Structure 1
Amino acid sequence: MEKSAVFHETTKKYACVCANETIVLRLKTKVNDIHSVNVIYGDPYEWKDKKWKASEQLMELIGETDVHQFWEARIAIPSKRLRYGFELIDFENESAFYSEKGWIDKCQMDPSDCFCFPYIHSSEQHDSPEWVKKTVWYQLFLERFANGDELNDPPGTLPWGSRRPKANDFFGGDLAGALQHMDHLVQLGITGIYLTPIFEATSNHKYDTIDYKSLDPAFGSTSTLKSFISACHEKGIRVMFDAVFNHSGILFAQFQDVLEKGNSSLYKDWFHFTEGSLQQSGQSLTYETFAFVETMPKLNTKNHEVKTYLLDVAAYWTKEFGIDGWRLDVANEVDHAFWKAFRHNMRAINPDLYILGEVWHDSSPWLDGDEFDGVMNYPFLSNALDLFARKSITPLQFTERMVSLQTMYPHTVTAHLLTLVGSHDTPRIKTECGNDAAVARLVFTLLFTYPGTPCLYYGDEIGLTGGMDPDCRQCMEWDEETWDRTLLDDIRMLIQLRNQESLLHNEGQLRWHRHNSLVCFSLEGTKETIYVVLNPTEEQAMTTFEQEGNWEDLLQNSALGHKKNLQLALLPGERAVLKVSQ
């Protein structure tokens, strides 16, 4: 037994408090080293005949990488107090007991030796909105979706779709256009809209805010915005705004005041200035920015006035317009204290508000329950592209990466991660897939069956193509003769399937199955299991499911009968979504 590879700690990643007085415990061991693991647990105050009343529960192996295996157990704790340790048994039937004090003799174990949760408070549970688990999002880049009112077009607006977009092009997309085409989203099965920024700004993308409390006039009036949100809510669609609080635009009034007055400005400490040369204003100052973009000065969110101002901005839009969520731009470059205050203030206004951070890497520091409900799951996108589009990894390597991703966060967080296969910051997924419809179909099947809250980038459903920004931000095509109908119908079917199967909207236990040629994972419930199987290789591949029960092919909507040891063969590019019931 490789004891040095065994790991557990009482952080939320490895010991996550869930609803109904339960806790999910996770243990990491060396791959193929441990046969089974038992959790030994109990209330430290329950004794009988001078012996601690401890219970045992077998842990489940949920997945493995090339070096580690991960085990989980869901423990009921009605007394809200818990002490626990792990009994590990290797393949030679030798056992060892792992505790907070390290490796000890199980026979001499005392509760004081064990890992400890002194008391489980309800306030320590993740209180993320339940509705997010069932939501299918649509990222709507407003300037490129539809031009419904040419009267609010900014100067120099180009005819709709007249060319591939350049960085500073305007095509006149607005709220009126989004309202006119809302039926398209309803027919898709969309239940959430993620709007890119709508505050007044200079650019077409609006990530360079001029006035945080004004709607950009190119998008319409505030009454139109309220009509849009009301129409969304009437059709069962939630609305999430995009907040840019890491930086402002260069024309933000407070920044302009600093450029004009220099050190005497009341707003100098709103930004990060240092001594140097600021050529464009003649002032003897320089400033930090987002990504070295001089038109996006970084805000000092540690400053009390800045913090108060931005929290008031968020409160205004949340209260006045009744939105359902905030997506937080460049969230990883804003201090944690600000986001803690943001969550506290916004949840006081709307306890059911969804708070989503833009973080492209391991986001554990923001997902302890006191900042974000979830983040944009870019590692999911990266893994999918490496397998299906770039073919730089094997199905087995993909599986191992996905196990690492699954175990990166607390158990309760996964359902609130925004899974995506494209955005305004990435090339179009169809382009990434080399315009191969079969490959794109596999990617979308993964998107809409994997745990999380999936997001579709506008136009991907009809097969829009494009490289990196700005090419991925072309105008939505409304000539239906140009649409990829096969892809559109397939995405509609996948969304409908996700909406109708509870295991597909985060009700099942995710388990990955290792295969050299297939991607295979299952979502397990108490009486049903769904298997998702994808063949990204150039050869036919087969697998066998040993589970006995009544099998259904959900993609073909057909019954396969009562079977044991069901065999499945998939040709290159084929997929299957199967359900077995006891």
Structure 2
Amino acid sequence: MITREAIYHLPKSNYAYAYSNSELHFRIRSKKNEVDEVFLRIGDPYEWETGGLDGGNLNGTDAKGWSGATEVMMKKELTTEYFDYWFCHYTPPKKRSRYAFILKDKDEKILFGEKQIDLLRSDKDEFKLSNLSNFFSFPYLNKKDVLDAPDWAKNIIWYQIFPERFCNGNKDISPQNVKPWGEVPTHDNFMGGDLYGLYSKLDYLEELGITGIYLCPIFTGNTNHKYDTVDYYKIDPHFGDEKIFKKIVKKAHQKGIKIMLDAVFNHVGTSFEYWKDVVKNGEKSEYADWFVINKFPVYEENFKINYETFANVKEMPKLNLENKDCRKYILNIATYWIKEYDIDGWRLDVCNEIDHKFWREFREETKKVKKDIYILGEVWHDGLPWLMGDQFDAVMNYPISDAIIKFLKKDKLDGLELSYEINKAIVSYPQNITEVSFNLLDSHDTARILTVLKKDKKKLKLSIALLFFQSGSPCIYYGTEIGMDGDKRSNCEDNRKCMVWDENFQDKELYSFVKKIIQIRKENNQFQNTFIEWILNDGDILVLKKENILLLINLNEEFDININLNDFNSKKSFKNLFTNEIIFIDEKKIKIENKGFLLLKNI
């Protein structure tokens, strides 16, 4: 018997959405390993053999023979710990649809509708199968509702840079108290990294294979991280000026590299001009309502603050973007940097603490200026409320990185559980969101991945292989490719240490590995496929498949393993994508060393 309470579907969500201007996608959930087949029953609600439903009266009693209906077989898309997910696509002839689901097991067949579940006893259940008042509705496929994320975001290779620690290219503009390059980083010291240094290293990034640069804030700020904005219209003078930034964008574009800036619109620094006016003039300031202030004065003698901030950082007062003038000011900044500097994307800091209406306006205004601007939200949790086509193109995919790390650390996740976590992340969003997702292993907000993996280089390579196997775009945090480590904890900011440019201290073998996997990713569009087939996920052993590409992983700490490729192929041979070796299948087993992997292409 089919467990009714396990079945779930929600229209206009990640379960039913417009994938393109002509195609709809549908999902339904059922209890794991219980349902044998699922069909989508769908059609134009106004197409009948006889009857008076042309006006849309779903309760018409004279309607007979729903000629607009068809049945589409759904495939089992993926499985999680408790559920199976079924998927299909459908092109509505007239863009409008009513639909329900037919689920079958060995004992029964049911119709899952919007209002009730009907047991189907025979092929003569015409009333139940045509009772559109019980069917879900996708009223019309409106072009405006389709996510218009840029195509280029599907296969870009991002590289995140913390500007103050990447490269010092002009010592004349370094802060007076600058420390020697490579000194232990702290929350408040400066090393002199700047935009001139970035400009000088564009050739390095191109050679590595990078096609997108994500820059932490470059606007004027008092700190080394610049998340305490002082002036949104000016580049921090210790980084450079507008002229050098324009040169960076121009040269990057010539090399096929996109530029994404970090937008800190949730809060500002206490040196921000309008905040200083509020501190001085209190509630009489014309900017008093630009901030979330509980009472005046904003500062009291006992060091108590009377305003909202980012986290508990008193140096970062929160903007009130519900104020019309403040809202307009920030929207103008967003479009200014696109118009003036031709940037390609905005990464939105602390975006989940700002109202959804603002982000809808933000998308509208920025897409007017540059249709293929990429809008990325910093959301560490489920980001679906921001990802239905009217706000962001993607969010930072921390659930994927968390799952990969827990698996490689053998912390709560084995191979089967890893598959569940990655599958949950995939099914959480519409497919066109997953195709442009921003996937990462570490960032300026986390410990570096090599440190997390206890400096185990083999596991680092496994983490990169798993990351690059996901659809969407992988991001490399600066220095990962040369073996940089660094912890992130209270009073420790080693994750933001200076980039190592002395080749004597760079891991050249790791650099070659990263460069090669980037090349492989670019040359094989199969990685863009959102569907992963988990052929084997038994403890430490994984075999993942995308179309004709296999990723085989042996996480065992001590023992090599041998796998019979006959179990996984449909053709006679494989190509090792790293070595280009051709492996012929003749009952031959292939060796995978401990904490190793193979990336093979069936040819």
The question of whether the paired residues in 2 share the 8 Å contact of 1:461 and 1:488 is answered with yes
Q: Residue 530 of structure 1 aligns to which amino acid in structure 2?
A: I
| Count of matched residue positions in the alignment of Structure 1 and Structure 2 | 573
What's the TM-score, normalizing by structure 1? 0.94
Q: Distance in 1 between matches of 2:305 and 2:256?
A: 50
Q: Residue 69 of structure 1 aligns to which amino acid in structure 2?
A: D
The question of whether the paired residues in 2 share the 8 Å contact of 1:208 and 1:248 is answered with yes
- Secondary structure (helix, strand or coil) at the match of 1:217 reads coil
Pair 102,567 (structure 1): closer, same or farther in 2 beyond 3 Å: farther
Q: Distance in 1 between matches of 2:142 and 2:222?
A: 47
- Cα distance per residue 1:466-500 (max 9 Å; x no partner): 00052100110111111111211111111000101
Q: Distance in 2 between matches of 1:322 and 1:268?
A: 33
Q: Distance in 2 between matches of 1:374 and 1:404?
A: 16
Counterpart check, 1:37 vs 2:74: no
Pair 568,10 (structure 1): closer, same or farther in 2 beyond 3 Å: farther
The question of whether the paired residues in 2 share the 8 Å contact of 1:546 and 1:566 is answered with no
Q: Which residue of 1 aligns with 2:58?
A: none
- Taking only aligned residues, the RMSD between alpha carbons, in angstroms, comes to 2.1
Shift of 1:569: 5.3
Shift of 1:60: 1.3
Counterpart check, 1:76 vs 2:77: no
- Cα distance per residue 1:374-426 (max 9 Å; x no partner): 01111111111111135332111111111111111112111221100010011
Q: Which residue of 2 aligns with 1:333?
A: 353
- Cα distance per residue 1:343-373 (max 9 Å; x no partner): 1110110011000000100111111111100
- 1:500 corresponds to which of 509, 518, 523: 523
Q: Which residue of 2 aligns with 1:65?
A: 80
User: Which has the larger displacement, 534-543 or 207-216?
Assistant: 534-543
Q: Distance in 2 between matches of 1:465 and 1:447?
A: 18
Q: Distance in 2 between matches of 1:446 and 1:556?
A: 18
The question of whether the paired residues in 2 share the 8 Å contact of 1:43 and 1:81 is answered with yes
Q: Which residue of 1 aligns with 2:544?
A: 521
Q: Which residue of 2 aligns with 1:100?
A: 114
Q: Residue 143 of structure 1 aligns to which amino acid in structure 2?
A: E
- Secondary structure (helix, strand or coil) at the match of 1:430 reads helix
Q: Which residue of 1 aligns with 2:56?
A: none
Q: Distance in 2 between matches of 1:556 and 1:9?
A: 46
- Secondary structure (helix, strand or coil) at the match of 1:263 reads helix
Pair 546,137 (structure 1): closer, same or farther in 2 beyond 3 Å: closer
- 1:197 corresponds to which of 213, 217, 222: 217
Q: Which residue of 1 aligns with 2:501?
A: 478
Q: Which residue of 2 aligns with 1:9?
A: 10
- Secondary structure (helix, strand or coil) at the match of 2:395 reads strand
- 1:119 corresponds to which of 137, 140, 158: 140
1:230-245 aligned at under 5 Å gives the runs 230-245=250-265
- 1:423 corresponds to which of 440, 443, 447: 443
Q: Distance in 2 between matches of 1:562 and 1:84?
A: 46
Q: Distance in 2 between matches of 1:230 and 1:412?
A: 29
- Secondary structure (helix, strand or coil) at the match of 1:62 reads strand
User: Please, which runs of 5 or more residues in structure 1 have no aligned partner?
Assistant: none
Q: Distance in 1 between matches of 2:116 and 2:28?
A: 14
Counterpart check, 1:354 vs 2:359: no
Q: Distance in 1 between matches of 2:287 and 2:296?
A: 18
Shift of 1:78: 3.1
1:110-259 aligned at under 5 Å gives the runs 110=130, 112=132, 113-161=134-182, 163-259=183-279
Q: Which residue of 2 aligns with 1:268?
A: 288
Shift of 1:77: 2.1
- Cα distance per residue 1:217-263 (max 9 Å; x no partner): 00112111100110100100000011100000011011111111112
- Secondary structure (helix, strand or coil) at the match of 1:509 reads coil
- Secondary structure (helix, strand or coil) at the match of 2:432 reads coil
Identity %: 37
Pair 172,408 (structure 1): closer, same or farther in 2 beyond 3 Å: same
Q: Residue 570 of structure 2 aligns to which amino acid in structure 1?
A: E
User: Which has the larger displacement, 229-238 or 308-317?
Assistant: 308-317
Pair 575,319 (structure 1): closer, same or farther in 2 beyond 3 Å: same
Q: Distance in 2 between matches of 1:259 and 1:152?
A: 31
The question of whether the paired residues in 1 share the 8 Å contact of 2:158 and 2:473 is answered with yes
1:319-330 aligned at under 5 Å gives the runs 319-330=339-350
The question of whether the paired residues in 1 share the 8 Å contact of 2:44 and 2:97 is answered with yes
Q: Which residue of 2 aligns with 1:577?
A: 599
Pair 473,261 (structure 1): closer, same or farther in 2 beyond 3 Å: same
Pair 94,353 (structure 1): closer, same or farther in 2 beyond 3 Å: same
Q: Distance in 1 between matches of 2:290 and 2:178?
A: 34
Q: Distance in 2 between matches of 1:559 and 1:552?
A: 5
Q: Distance in 2 between matches of 1:150 and 1:370?
A: 44
The question of whether the paired residues in 1 share the 8 Å contact of 2:434 and 2:530 is answered with no
Pair 346,382 (structure 1): closer, same or farther in 2 beyond 3 Å: same
- 1:292 corresponds to which of 312, 321, 324: 312
Q: Residue 16 of structure 1 aligns to which amino acid in structure 2?
A: Y
The question of whether the paired residues in 1 share the 8 Å contact of 2:158 and 2:474 is answered with yes
The question of whether the paired residues in 2 share the 8 Å contact of 1:374 and 1:413 is answered with yes
Q: Residue 274 of structure 1 aligns to which amino acid in structure 2?
A: N
Q: Distance in 2 between matches of 1:358 and 1:217?
A: 26
Shift of 1:182: 1.1
Q: Residue 74 of structure 2 aligns to which amino acid in structure 1?
A: M
The question of whether the paired residues in 2 share the 8 Å contact of 1:272 and 1:287 is answered with yes
Q: Distance in 1 between matches of 2:430 and 2:208?
A: 31
Counterpart check, 1:534 vs 2:534: no
Q: Which residue of 2 aligns with 1:306?
A: 326
- Secondary structure (helix, strand or coil) at the match of 1:170 reads coil
Q: Distance in 2 between matches of 1:41 and 1:494?
A: 43
Q: Distance in 1 between matches of 2:578 and 2:201?
A: 28
Counterpart check, 1:56 vs 2:71: yes
The question of whether the paired residues in 1 share the 8 Å contact of 2:282 and 2:296 is answered with no
Runs of 4+ in 1 over 4 A off after TM superposition: 276-285, 539-544, 565-569
Q: Residue 138 of structure 1 aligns to which amino acid in structure 2?
A: Y
The question of whether the paired residues in 2 share the 8 Å contact of 1:420 and 1:455 is answered with yes
Q: Residue 535 of structure 1 aligns to which amino acid in structure 2?
A: N
What's the TM-score, normalizing by structure 2? 0.91
Shift of 1:514: 5.2
User: Which has the larger displacement, 491-500 or 78-87?
Assistant: 78-87
Question: Higher strand proportion, which one?
Answer: 1
Pair 138,8 (structure 1): closer, same or farther in 2 beyond 3 Å: same
The question of whether the paired residues in 2 share the 8 Å contact of 1:274 and 1:285 is answered with no
Q: Distance in 1 between matches of 2:21 and 2:462?
A: 37
Counterpart check, 1:557 vs 2:580: yes
Q: Distance in 1 between matches of 2:160 and 2:206?
A: 14
